[in-house]
Structure 1
Amino acid sequence: MSFTETTHTSWFTRMKNALWQVLIGVVLLLAALYFLFTNEGRAIQTYRSLVEGAGLVVSIDSAKIDPANEGKLVHITGPVKALGTVSDSDLGVDAEGALAITRDVEMYQWVEKSESKTEKNVGGSEETTTVYSYAKEWRTTPVDSSDFKVPTGHQNPPFAIEDNETVVDAASVGAFTIDGKRVAALANEQRIAMTEGDAIRIAEVIATTKPVKINQGDLYIGISSTSPQIGDMRVRFERSDLSEASFVGAQKGDTIENFKSSNGRGILLSAPGAKDAAAMFEQAQAENTMITWLIRAGGLLALFIGFKMLFGFLGVIGDIIPFVGSIVRGGTTLIALVLTLIIGPVVIAVGWFAYRPLLAIGIIAGGLVLAVLFAWMRRSKAAAEPAATNPTFGRG
């Protein structure tokens, strides 16, 4: 089943919207420039902090706590043990020895999809035709059917049960006590197989009139898992386990906390399994580099979108004659790309220069020296070539 809607937008309305986009574009440009600039400082400060930490860290025996290491940057590796039993108390599912227990829920729901086609008219107006269609899909989050273009016949019921995660308060790593969430984040997840007893108990707890069954170790709320109906649900429970972990941070009593380096950056590293300190700092540096490039890429994309929005009104003006608007939009897209490729790298370079001026000056000076040397070699070669082609012969 589908529903088709046609809307008409006048040129004046489009122009008003385009002018609003100019304002949004300016804000987006300023935000992108800020993040591109400050990202360089963040990356350099983090790099320096990690270099400092790699030179200070001391690997210690996690089996005992030495007061002499109080406040120092230490590295520990040890067996992990949950301090307490984690439980999904609402449904009575326990996981002895686990660091966390997770409840993942899906519901079979109506989903609205739309496809639009826009045609421009002489005079700058637009006519948009949108086709709405509806399909049934498994989704992990509620789909609000009241916002559908055609809600009648496509109503989704509320979730009878929702996602949930319960994490142990703390875990021990050798003789040290670490926050449960930090340790659980390193763990591996494995399914908890449900039993018929679990299905009977949970059916009495949750707000549903549908039968609760076991389906390949998980719960199925509905009549048939092979022929799902709107409102049917699938529920899976998983436990998080970890046998060994490594941490780098400040020793504070019997725990490991954030260590403040000389530039104020914090150091608190963690990894599953037995990892030496050097490998953990190397991994942290790699993550810092990756984050730096992701922010750079995001900033450049935001710059491009901002410039596109800034020039968008020109395309609307050109749409008075449709093919002219397409030409204008192509031109402004090219301009936006060129400005992004010029301004973005310049801002990154300025940000980098602001935090490492001496090195930046050194690189620039080195480049100039190489350029002068290259030019001198070219001139010397050019001067030598005429002498070689015009030899002087003495008298016999």
Structure 2
Amino acid sequence: MAGEDRVDQVTDVTTTSWLSRLGQAIVGVLVGIAVVIGSGVLLFWNEGHAIKTAQGLTEGAGIVRSVSADRVDPGNDQRLIHVSGMLTAGGPVGDGDFALRIQSLRLLRHVEMYQWQEETHTETRTKFGGGEERTTTYKYVRGWADKPIDSTRFREVRGHTNPVMTYQSREAVASGTHLGAFAVPESLVSGFGEPKPLEATEAQANALQIRIDKPVKVIDGVLYVGRDPSQPAVGDMRITFSQVPLQTASVVALQAGAGLAPFTTHTGTTVELITAGTVPAAAMFKAAQEENVTFTWILRAVGAFVMFIGFALILRPLSVAADVIPILGNIVGAGAGLVAMVCTAALAPLVIALGWLWYRPLIGIAVLIAGAGATYGLMKLARQRVARKAAVAAT
């Protein structure tokens, strides 16, 4: 494609009137209310899930029994067991597209294609009278991506067309996996283990070259589809393979006949743990409890952030209304942001505390006290910042 026919950067400038912005902000209030309610539901659910999971793991740790992997004891049927041993597969796992078969637990193919990618950057400027000018710059660059990028959605399609991605990443999991005498379900094996690189061969490169009629070479164990790796062209591909080898593992699960299955606790949660190596049951439950705590805090942060966005949407009409005079809009916007933060600091801990009050009353009371303290501090900070901005505007 000729260089003069291609434009690698496009800029769009749009203007929105003050009345249109105000109407959008008012509609956003309804969205904000829904977002606040949704985030509250998420936070409450998260606390219940965390407590039930912790209780379920505690229950499991108290009743689990360690057994030998050499034989299945019918007396342990429908009991929670802990077993360590060598994982074996019923046969090789393969990738038919590349005539690859190997004795392992998992076989992974990772494919990247050199493609056009669209980068966008937007700047907004509030004009006197409340209107808004939005400048969006679309920049087109080439780079490696492991998923096909739909170039038909680009702002500037001409000269930036991505070809079809002939091969994509995939994973194959061994069937008939056993840990000693116990059949292991695919749900446990999938995602287990640390993948190790598996070098591609010249035979694979030659077969692929014949099949797709493109140059293919092996570079540092990677299949490279294209003419020159030092100067990649759009449509070039890099294909790498990795495998999770057969290895020793430890599992905590329900003994169901001659196999393993998820164990359902009295709280309704399930216990199904696997880790590499010979690891005691106590250590596995401890790690699971730590993962539960980490996951809980992540969802708390996500829920609080979403709640803040909701309050910001609810308060946005105030700053848009004040944007008739841009400096006044900045002051009101800063104040609205702080109010949204204060509301979040008050409501998020309250919802979390209600969750704990529902399941663990004493801890819920402590969370309520902490939330009240945070709210007081943020309200004080908000008053100080608004006062400082007003003083600056007056000078």
1:41 aligns with 2:48: yes
Q: Where does the alignment leave 5 or more consecutive residues of structure 2 unmatched?
A: 1-7, 371-395
**1-structure distance, mates of 2:204, 2:107:** 15
Equivalent residue for 2:4?
A: none
The alpha-carbon deviation at position 181 of structure 1 amounts to 4.4
User: Does residue 109 in structure 1 map to residue 115 in structure 2?
Assistant: yes
Which runs of structure 2 are paired with 1:1-396 in the superposition (5 Å)? 1-95=8-102, 97-205=103-211, 208-357=212-361, 359-360=362-363
Distance 1:170 1:313, change over 3 A: farther
CA distance in 1, matches of 2:232, 2:130: 48
Q: Which amino acid aligns with 1:138?
A: W
Q: Secondary structure at the match of 1:90?
A: helix
Deviation at 1:329, TM superposition (A): 0.7
SS in 2 for 1:317: helix
Between the aligned partners of 1:218 and 1:167, the Cα distance in structure 2 is 21
Q: Which amino acid aligns with 1:115?
A: H
SS of 1:186's equivalent in the other structure is coil
One-letter amino acid of the counterpart of residue 77, structure 1: S
Deviations 1:15-61 (A, max 9, x none): 22212322221111111111111222111111111111111111011
Q: Please say if residues 188 and 242 of structure 1, whose CA atoms lie closer than 8 Å, have aligned partners that are also in contact.
A: no
Deviations 1:312-339 (Å, cap 9, x if unpaired)?
Answer: 1111111111111111110000000011
CA–CA distance in structure 2, aligned partners of residues 307 and 229 of structure 1: 47
> Could you tell me how far apart the structure 2 residues matched to 1:181 and 1:355 are?
31
The RMSD of aligned alpha carbons is: 1.8
* 1-structure distance, mates of 2:272, 2:120: 46
Contact kept in structure 2, 1:101 and 1:166, CA below 8 Å:
yes
The AA in structure 2 aligned to 1:258 is P
- DSSP 3-state at the match of 1:40: helix
* In 1: Cα distance, 2:364 partner to 2:127 partner: 56
- Report the equivalent of 2:373: none
Structure 2: how far apart are the matches of 1:180 and 1:99? Answer: 10
In the TM superposition, residue 363 of structure 1 has moved relative to its aligned partner by 7.0
**How high is the sequence identity, in percent, across the aligned residues?**
38
**Structure-2 separation of matches of 1:184 and 1:112:** 34
- 1: CA distance, partners of 2:276 / 2:190: 10
Tell me if the contact between 2:10 and 2:138 (Cα under 8 Å) persists in the aligned partners: yes
Q: TM-score, normalised by structure 1?
A: 0.87
Q: Output the amino acid matched with 1:202.
A: L
Deviation digits for residues 276-307 of structure 1, max 9, x if unmatched? 01001111111111111111111111111110
Secondary structure of the corresponding residue to residue 232 of structure 2: coil
- In the TM superposition, what whole-angstrom CA distance separates every residue of 1:143-189 from its partner, at most 9, and x where no partner exists? 22222221111111111211111111231111111023422422221
Would you say the 8 A contact 2:357–2:365 is kept in 1? no
TM-score (norm 2): 0.87
Q: Distance in 1 between matches of 2:176 and 2:194?
A: 17
Q: Alpha carbons of 1:181 and 1:257: their partners in 2 closer, same or farther (altered >3 Å)?
A: closer
Distance of 1:308 and 1:184 partners within structure 2:
41
Deviates most, 65-74 or 262-271: 262-271
> Who wins on radius of gyration, i.e. which is larger?
1
| Cα distance in 2, alignment partners of residues 272 and 4 from structure 1 | 52
Distance 2:338 2:61 in 1: 46
TM superposition shift of 1:86: 0.6
2:355/2:364 contact within 8 Å kept: no
Is 2:107–2:171's contact at 8 Å kept on the other side of the alignment?
A: yes
CA distance in 2, matches of 1:16, 1:156: 39
Alignment partners' CA distance in 2, 1:185 and 1:336:
40
Per-residue deviation at 1:91? 2.5
How far, CA to CA, are the matches of 1:337 and 1:150 in structure 2? 39
Q: What code does the residue aligned with 2:139 have?
A: S
